[in-house]
Amino acid sequence: MPVSEATLTETLRGSALAPTHVAVTDQSNGCGQAYAVVVVSPAFRNMKTLERHRAVNTAVGPLIAELHAFSQKAWTPEEWAAKQSGPSQPA
């Protein structure tokens, strides 16, 4: 059975990562086989990229085995805020 966007979102929100923001995008035209996720969590502070990705994979748990493709962005709240504000403009 395909994994739904809602199930993946709820799983991440309820995880030990205690994310402040979760965005899940189905990239499989509704098939539920390929997802891109953005997870923002203070738990990512002092973690390297690979450690962050492993933490997200652990949070998703057995659902990941049901997916064909899974891409992720894992950021701290500070990194997320900087990305939301965009590049600074010269004065």
**Rounded mean pLDDT of 61-69?**
93
- For residue 85, what pLDDT is reported? 82
Q: Would 86 be classed as within a structural domain?
A: no
| Mean pLDDT, rounded, of the chain | 93
Q: Would 69 be classed as within a structural domain?
A: yes
Q: Would 20 be classed as within a structural domain?
A: yes
CATH number of residue 73's parent domain:
3.30.300.90
Q: Would 91 be classed as within a structural domain?
A: no
Q: Would 56 be classed as within a structural domain?
A: yes
The string of pLDDT tens digits covering residues 16-57 is: 999 999 999 999 988 889 999 999 999 999 999 999 999 999
Q: Which two tokens stand for residue 56?
A: 């997200």
- For residue 4, what pLDDT is reported? 93
Between strands 34-40 and 21-26, the pairing is antiparallel
SS (H, E, C) the chain: CCCCHHHHHHHHHCCCCCCCEEEEEECCCCCCCEEEEEEECHHHCCCCHHHHHHHHHHHHHHHHHHCCEEEEEEECHHHHHHHHHCCCCCC
Whether residue 89 is predicted with pLDDT greater than 60 in this model: the reply is no
Residue bearing the bigger pLDDT, 56 or 84: 56
Q: Would 90 be classed as within a structural domain?
A: no
47 close to 13: Cβ distance less than 8 angstroms: no
- For residue 88, what pLDDT is reported? 61
User: How many structural domains does the chain have?
Assistant: 1
User: Which domain range does residue 34 map to?
Assistant: 5-81
Q: Would 12 be classed as within a structural domain?
A: yes
Record the pTM: 0.89
